[in-house]
Structure 1
Amino acid sequence: MFCYLIQNYENVTSNLTTRPPTREFLPFTLQDVRSAIPGHCFQSNLWRSLSYFFLDLGIVAGLYWLAARIDSAWFFPLFWLMQGTMFWALFVIGHDCGHGSFSRYRWLNNLVGHLSHTPILVPYHGWRISHRTHHANTGNIETDESWYPVTEGYYDNMPWYERLARFHLILFVYPLYLFRRSPGKQGSHFLPDSPLFRPHERRAVLTSTVCLSLMLTFLVGLGVHYGFGFLFKYYLMPYVVFVVWLDLVTFLHHTDADIPWYRGKDWYFLKGALSTIDRDYGIFNPIHHNIGTHVAHHIFITIPHYHLKEATEAIKPVLGEHYRSSQEPIWKSLWRSYQTCYFVPDQGSKVYYQTPSKKI
């Protein structure tokens, strides 16, 4: 597993023995962090991974049965919250598949990834590839893929509708991101010829887009046959809750006034990977597979979710002050980041979020 990670990232990490004097380096190397983690943390267990997947599917099916059985207005808001949360849990399973940490079998990862992501309208391969770009460039203002900061100059020239989406609809923008990507970037997760993808990846992207089209056709068929009210109650509202969960968690992974961002030669992989923060989601931690345990995941993407807590405890002594975590209530963190994290300076190799004097 570790060899796979090194092969993917050695092109973006610097030579850890020959260090240019102009670059600020961490007091430890990627190998130092790797050596602190027990070897079994890098190994996936097929049956354990499958058990989480089938448990999630069973809960989703059980919630649908319960909602149909009760079929009462008082119950549906609770159902939307529970089912939307389970949609988010399924996304995390597909997320592990995309990283290859679900199993060592690529065909199985792709199969379970599609089974997890297609029902919640996520193009598995399109998202997997763009997410790979995010992990290879985390913390790099110029090349990161998701929830990276805009520069002050770009912010000053943003049209009102782009500011509205980027800074005020942060919990609802994921579907738009799939279609349009983030500010300053072009391409779609659904189109094989998008600049997101290499030529040899286009067939895989098309496969996921076709699967998604079939899912949309199925949903339209449900709406035509049973009515829009049925589709609204049983799918659309849980889907909205899922989108809120996804945007909330991913936003808070990488958006905080204390997290540094880098540009130019001052960035390298390990430093960028540490520009994220672990957060505590309380009773939801086991439900969404401890996705809030994010620092270790960004350093070593092939660690299965069920080993992340152990790996995190192992690397804390090595990372020291460079390890970031927060026990602050999630909604308090969200409000603080929403109020303060708008843009970074146009210049500087290590920068932090700033707040405009007048918000729009």
Structure 2
Amino acid sequence: MEATTSFRTEVGCSSVLHNAGTAIRFRQMNRGTPLRFCTRSTATAGPQLPARQRVLSAKRLICKAAAAAPAVAAPSDAGRLSAEDRAALAQELGYRSIGADLPDTVSLTQVISSLPREVFEINPLRAWGAVATTVVSVALSVYLISISPWYMLPFAWAFAGTAWTGMFVIGHDCGHRSFSKNKLVEDIVGTLMFMPLIYPFEPWRIKHNHHHAHTNKLVEDTAWHPAGKAELERWGTVQKTLFKVFLGSPLKLWASVGHWWLWHFNLDLYTDKQKPRVLVSLAAVAAFAFIGIPAIGYFTGLAGVAKYWLMPWLGYHFWMSTFTVVHHTAPHIPFKPADEWNAAKAQLSGTVHCDYPRWVEFLCHDINVHVPHHVNSKIPWYNLRAATDSLRQNWGQYMTEASWNWRMMKYIFTELHVYDEQQNYVPFDYEKEEPFYWIQRKVLPSTM
């Protein structure tokens, strides 16, 4: 039976539509009473409207009484909606498509088995070609910085930060053992590529592989794990304020700096067996930090260190944060406790494919083509597009896709903060709207 959609609130809840058409903010006045998407039969719902109009009309409706029919949380349970309504919700939230719920009976092994065998093949020419591309791009960025007048430096730094991200992606393939059939070569290349980024290769490899094994699993995942309400309440004022400022604003696009520092330099996070290799990686980045960077300063001065290293490094972290937060943070993608976690859902449906300007994708070696990488991390970067095409043919209805846009990013900045088991995320000010977020919701544009 065809269904229409409407929103319902339970006592004390309200829905607020900000800036006439931006993604909706759901605000709770009482905890435990989340806003809901409802489905009601046409017999009780009244005249039919087009799906898009039904959803938008529903968003403007504030109900005083609960609807009689069962409800599913929105947008956290978007996968249960009809294809039409998922499309409408995707458009409203800034996504190209939102996937349906993957059946519980589908295993990750089934998804992997559907991929053509050739996408797993390592091509040394393509692999080393990427190294050459990145080395030339980084060298070109240094030259552009050296000749640019002050007013052109931001453009040179943007190019440099993107080229530097290419170094990370090559090391990333080395860490996943998809660069070469020789592990020693991968360790050497990965370490060298990570050195200018002051990123210790082995600590990153260990923690990153843990992220792949536990993607979007509560407690275990090491990437963009949201804080819980109880955890937030235990924090002191300073810690809570810093957390809110850096993860609840556009500064979130440099939050990977904090992740880099907290996760990769503390030996207590690694086992005795892991520590010798970890120490080698730490020695490599220490060599660059205490020899390479001072050498830059010797020839160009302190301003030269900022000009030739710090600004490109911050540009790299912009892309590092942007790519990863878009990959794994979305209103309809849940973090799950271990007893409810499903590997196939987490890797296929819990990872977002996002298209960026082609020059960015070229310099960053298609790191944005991320769904097949999470289905199986042994796929080399240059085969990710073919693997994505295969996944679309076989599992496309369960995938979330987007083109990088301001509406999606604004929603991530202002709404997706605190873990909530019913809604996936609620904003930091879910109980009472705070001026810091109110200003952002009013000032930040929904399109650009």
Q: Fold match, TM over 0.5?
A: yes
Q: Which amino acid aligns with 2:357?
A: G
Identify the match of residue 337 of structure 1 among 408, 412, 416.
Answer: 412
SS in 2 for 1:279: strand
- List aligned pairs for 1:82-231, cutoff 5 A: 82-158=159-235, 159-168=240-249, 169-181=251-263, 189-191=264-266, 193-195=267-269, 197-217=270-290, 218-231=292-305
Cα distance in 1 for partners of 2:148, 2:370 equals: 38
Distance 1:149 1:288 in 2: 26
Shift of 1:214: 0.8
Residue-by-residue CA offset, 1:54-77 (whole Å, 9 max, x unaligned):
111012112323433x25223322
Contact map agreement 2:212 2:374 (CA 8 A) in 1:
yes
Q: Please state whether the residue corresponding to 1:353 is helix, strand or coil.
A: strand
The answer as to whether partners of 2:247 and 2:413 remain within 8 angstroms in 1 is: no
Residue 5 of structure 1 is matched in structure 2 by: none
Question: By percentage of residues, which structure has more strand?
Answer: 2
Amino acid in structure 2 at the alignment position of 1:179: W
8 A contact 2:196–2:288 mirrored in 1:
yes
How far apart are 1:149 and its partner, in Å?
A: 1.7
Deviations 1:308-329 (A, max 9, x none): 11111112233243211113x3
Q: Which runs of 5+ in 2 are unaligned?
A: 1-101, 437-448
- Map Cα deviations across residues 287-310 of structure 1 (whole Å, 9 max, x no partner): 211111111111100000111111
Quote the Cα distance in structure 2 between the aligned partners of 1:353 and 1:201.
35
Check whether the contact 1:60–1:83 (CA below 8 A) recurs between aligned residues. yes
Structure number with larger C-alpha Rg: 2
Q: 1:299 and 2:299 equivalent?
A: no
Percentage of pairs with the same residue:
26
Partner Cα distance (1:204, 1:226) in 2: 34
**4+ residue runs of structure 1 moved beyond 6 angstroms?**
none
Kept in 2, the 8 Å contact 1:32–1:318? The answer is no
Report the TM-score, using the length of structure 1 for normalisation: 0.84
CA distance in 1, matches of 2:137, 2:120: 28
* Greater Cα offset, 150-159 or 82-91: 150-159
> Residue 106 of structure 2 contacts residue 344 of structure 2 at CA under 8 Å; is this kept in 1?
no
Cα shift readout 1:87-141 (whole Å, capped 9, x = no counterpart): 0111111111111111121111111101111111111111111101111000101
Worse overlay, 32-41 or 224-233: 224-233
Asked whether the equivalents of residues 165 and 363 of structure 2 are also in contact (C-alpha less than 8 Å), the reply is no
Match for 1:353: what amino acid? Y
Change beyond 3 A, Cα 1:118–1:75? same
Judge conservation of contact 2:175–2:186 (CA < 8 Å) in 1.
yes
Query: Which of 332, 336, 341 is the matching residue for 1:258?
Result: 332
Conservation of the 8 A alpha-carbon contact between 1:190 and 1:206: no
For these two proteins, the number of residue pairs brought into alignment is 323
SS at match of 1:290: coil
Q: CA deviation at 1:225?
A: 4.3
Task: Select between 314-323 and 73-82 the one with higher mean Cα deviation.
Answer: 314-323
The alignment's C-alpha RMSD in Å is 1.9
Alpha carbons 2:174, 2:186 under 8 Å: kept: yes
Which of 340, 343, 357 matches 1:282?
A: 357
Verify the 8 A CA contact 1:260 1:352 in the aligned structure 2. Answer: yes
- CA distance in structure 2 between the aligned counterparts of 1:200 and 1:58, rounded to whole angstroms: 37
Secondary structure at the aligned position of 1:261 is classed as coil
Determine the C-alpha separation between the residues in 2 that align with 1:303 and 1:128: 16
Flag structure 1 segments of 5+ consecutive residues without an equivalent.
1-23, 182-188
The answer to whether the Cα contact below 8 Å between 1:121 and 1:215 also exists between their aligned partners in 2 is yes
Provide the secondary structure at the position in 2 that maps to 1:344. strand
SS in 2 for 1:91: helix
| Cα-to-partner distance string for 1:328-350 (whole Å, 9 max, x where unaligned) | x33332111112101122x56xx
**Is the Cα contact below 8 Å between 2:107 and 2:343 reproduced in 1?**
no
| 1:215 CA drift (Å) | 0.6
Corresponding letter in the other structure for 2:370: H
1:265 and 1:304 map into 2 onto residues whose CA distance is 32
Give the residue type in structure 2 aligned to 1:315. Answer: L
Equivalent position SS for 1:145? coil
- Asked if the contact 2:145–2:157 (Cα under 8 Å) also holds between the matched residues in 1, the reply is no
1:245 corresponding residue in structure 2: 319
Q: Report whether the alignment pairs 1:323 with 2:367.
A: no
In structure 2, what is the equivalent of residue 269 of structure 1?
Answer: 343
Query: Alpha-carbon deviation of 1:162?
Result: 2.8
How far the C-alpha of 1:352 sits from its partner, in A, is 1.5
Please say which of residues 317-326 and 336-345 is displaced more in the overlay: 317-326
Measured in 2, the distance between the counterparts of 1:290 and 1:330 equals 18
Deviation digits for residues 155-214 of structure 1, max 9, x if unmatched? 333422233233333122222222224xxxxxxx123x322x222111111111111111
> Equivalents in 2 of 1:211, 1:331: separation in Å?
38
Q: Give, in whole Å, the separation in 2 of the partners of 1:244 and 1:82.
A: 12
